[in-house]
Amino acid sequence: MLAKLIITFGALLYGLGVPLLEINQTHVFNPQWEPHMRLHEVWQLATNSALALLALWLAWARNNISFVAGAVSSRLDAVAVHSPGCGEVPRRAPRRSR
């Protein structure tokens, strides 16, 4: 039961909390962001929320906690491999004229 509650807390934080924090003028509706940047932000939020719903469904309806744990750990591996880490952030590329 404790495992299900931990999964639920993480899924709600990841799938509901983050979108509530980022759907505002500083992220999704930021006029300074390029439209393509906003597209990727919304795409990320939708994907994260869908994965959170899948985790909740697997944990509570299917009672398959081991699959959720495996899926989460594989996702964390991908984040660690593809993350730029603490290195220097490259300067912004010049904007193309239209």
Residue pLDDT, tens place only, 45-76: 999 899 899 888 888 888 877 777 776 666 65
| Domain count of the fold of the chain | 1
pTM of the model: 0.67
Sign of CA dihedral 26, 15, 79, 36: negative
So what's the pLDDT on residue 32? 92
Question: 3 lies in a domain?
Answer: yes
Which of 77, 56, 47 is closest to 6 using CA atoms?
Answer: 56
Question: 71 lies in a domain?
Answer: no
Please write the tens of the pLDDT for every residue from 75-97: 655 555 555 555 555 566 566 66
Rounded Cα distance, 62 and 53, in Å? 13
| Containing structural domain, residue 13 | 1-35
Residue 30 one-letter amino acid = N
Question: 10 lies in a domain?
Answer: yes
